[in-house]
Amino acid sequence: MQSATTRSVAEPWVDDPFGRAVRAGRGPLWLCRADGARWVLEVERWCAPAAGADHGLVLRCLGLGAPVLDLGCGPGRLVAALLAAGVPALGVDVCAASVDRTAGLGALALRRSVFDRLPAEGRWGGALLADGNLGIGGDPAALLSRTAGLLAPDGLLLVETDPTEVDEVSTVRVAGPDGAGPPFRWARCGPEATARYGAAAGLEPVERWLSYGRSFLALRRS
């Protein structure tokens, strides 16, 4: 793996404060837009055991009959919770600190992008896009199409959406008290936009719910 000093282009979530925050288990950390808008990255919650609305995701993965892929798994709390519930699971994340922390929980994770080649493509019983990870790549249509291709026929995608009916792509940076990382494109989608992009990717909405102030949608590969 190339170091940050030998790569020609800095990578978001890699060459920014995110990895340091994950290793420390705490923020503060934000996703910042050039116009001054910013969103808190909930590092402490992500580094803690699964709680609250997380349990609804785990429960919906029970009985799928095939392993679950957590895309953008972060520090691994959902992968660990799935394994504790008897659901085979694998995390995927570009951040080395996230992969290391997931391994420290006794769970499995690969340091890769969701757009890289992944094991068992087309055979996963379920996939998760939680904690804002619908924004990955700044192209929800491409991300949901890619995710659909990872799922087995009738596979289930559980995606966390923005609680508001937003559909936007903007350029952001990960920032903390010690500086900011490189700019990258990031998407925010509410339930209706997510369902629309999902339908174009062959994913049929089957459930929508709110839990602990968080918004979710279940999409099944049709």
The model carries a pTM of 0.95
Closest CA to 43 of 61, 16, 11, 82: 16
- Domain ranges, ordered by start, for the chain: 51-172+180-221
Residue 3's nearest CA partner among 96, 110, 117, 102 is 96
CATH number for the domain running over 51-172+180-221: 3.40.50.150
Note down pLDDT in tens along the chain; length 222 residues: 344 445 568 999 999 999 999 999 999 999 999 999 999 999 999 999 999 999 999 999 999 999 999 999 999 999 999 999 999 999 999 999 999 999 999 999 999 999 999 999 999 999 999 999 999 999 999 999 999 999 999 999 999 999 999 999 999 999 999 899 999 999 999 999 999 999 999 999 999 999 999 999 999 998
Do residues 110 and 79 make contact, with C-beta atoms less than 8 angstroms apart? Answer: no
Place of tokens 């500086």: 179
The pLDDT, as a whole number, for residue 1 is 39
> Residue 6: what pLDDT?
52
Burial class (CB in 10 A: 0-12, 13-18, 19+), 44: middle
The reported pLDDT for the residue numbered 8 is: 67
Cα R_g (the chain), whole angstroms: 16
Of 144, 157, 155, give the one whose Cα is nearest residue 196: 144
